[in-house]
Amino acid sequence: MRNFLTVAALAALAGSTAAQTFTECNPLNTTCPADPALGTEHTWWFNSSTKLDTTIWNMSTGSLTYSNDAAEFTISKVNESTLLQSNFYIFFGVVESWVKMAKGAGVVSSVVLESDDLDEIDWEWVGYNTSAVQSNFFGKGNTTSYDRGGTHYVANADTEWHNYTTWWDSDKLQWWIDGKMVRELLYTDATALGGKNYPQTPCQVKISNWPAGLESAAHGTIEWAGGLVNYADGPFTMSVQRLRVQDFHTGKEYSYGDKSGDFKSIKVTGGNSTVLDELNKPPPKSLAEKWADLGNGAHIGIYAGAAAAGVLAIVALALVCLRQRRKGRLEHALDDSRYATERTEMQNFQNDWKQSEWKHGGYSKVSN
């Protein structure tokens, strides 16, 4: 088995592929800035009607495309790779991902939790086998032994959505597929070196489709990946429909109290996380909502402005104009500072309105 850390080595070799997983600051060696917390639970759906919130997610390598029911991580060219990472960290919690793996020898789809001191929890789909997913974990970047991996049967992992859930607390770590627990690791297990190599520090969520079978990769890695990537078989696409992430702690950020990497040393700073504030932010108003906000007087004015010229319309307009006079010009209503954030949309709206006004002979604007 190869862990996500290997990607860093591969990426370094692969030149154009950006480094995927070197930790920017390892708290075991030095003092690092605090990690922004998730501090809540949220489900992200990915599809053509959604937009990636870049205050929460960072597409740090490659690019994403969207289908009508998923985000697509595609590699089609040599040295191409993809990585979406959360700007937030969870300090124990749940990650539920709905994934269709990329099929193809040498290609690896992955959903990974990784901390600044390189604790790691993996789901990895190795492209040559569409009936399996691998589970793995690492503690404090210790890759000296690759005996921790598990392989689990899953039907048609490339064409069917499955629910891959990681449940992670300080005393146990579980991997679940479609509601069945397929693996459990206890803090006290020997493979976790009695807790020493048990993942236990705040982790980011990292989703990636990457080429493990590269000429430049270590022999063992190519073998694990099922051979070299044959780009003629591409493009290779991993799809992610949705992701539910729950942080077992609430708070604003997490910091390392010392250089032990022990969960007991992690300090939780209270308050709302940036992500929580972002999620609670009212959605930008749609044109329809702004329209509704304007009230009847303005509606009639605009309808009338757009209506075919005619006596009735003119009469209606005259009435409307009178009604509008008190409130100020219609443009002012539209320009209300509450809506100032969406200038472009409003501008189009106003242009359309002015145009139809113009087309239909219109009326002179009320001035006051």
Ligand X SMILES: *[C@@H]1O[C@H](CO)[C@@H](O)[C@H](O)[C@H]1NC(C)=O
3-state per-residue secondary structure call for 39-75: CCEEEEECCCCCCCCCCCEEEEECCEEECCCCEEEEE
**Active-site residue identified among 80, 114, 120, 357:** 120
8 Å CB contact between 124 and 133: yes
**Cα(21)–Cα(11) distance, integer angstroms:** 9
**Interstrand relation of 93-100 and 107-115 (parallel, antiparallel or unpaired):** unpaired
223 is catalytic: no
**Cα(243)–Cα(161) distance, integer angstroms:** 12
Single out the residue of 31, 280, 296, 364 in contact with ligand X (rule: CB under 6 A).
280
| Helix boundaries (H) for 211-264 | 219-224
8 Å CB contact between 193 and 200: no
The interface mask with ligand X, positions 54-73, x = CB under 6 A, is ----x-x-------xx----
- With CB under 6 A as the contact rule, which of the stretches 13-21, 103-111, 339-347, 357-365 interacts with ligand X? 13-21
Q: What are the backbone angles phi and psi of residue 353, rounded to the nearest 5°?
A: -65, -45
Instruction: Answer yes or no whether residue 262 interacts with ligand X by CB under 6 A.
Output: no
Instruction: Answer yes or no whether residue 246 interacts with ligand X by CB under 6 A.
Output: no
Closest approach, Cβ 151 to ligand X, in A, equals: 4
304: its two tokens? 């009338």
- With CB under 6 A as the contact rule, which of the stretches 99-107, 190-198, 321-329, 332-340 interacts with ligand X? 190-198
Bridge partners of residue 125, in order along the sequence: 109
**Cα(365)–Cα(368) distance, integer angstroms:** 10
277 or 331: CB nearest ligand X: 277
Total residues in contact with ligand X, by rule CB under 6 A: 38
Closest approach, Cβ 46 to ligand X, in A, equals: 7
Single out the residue of 153, 284, 328, 359 in contact with ligand X (rule: CB under 6 A).
153
Single out the residue of 29, 63, 156, 188 in contact with ligand X (rule: CB under 6 A).
29
Single out the residue of 6, 26, 136, 201 in contact with ligand X (rule: CB under 6 A).
26
Catalytic residues: 120, 124
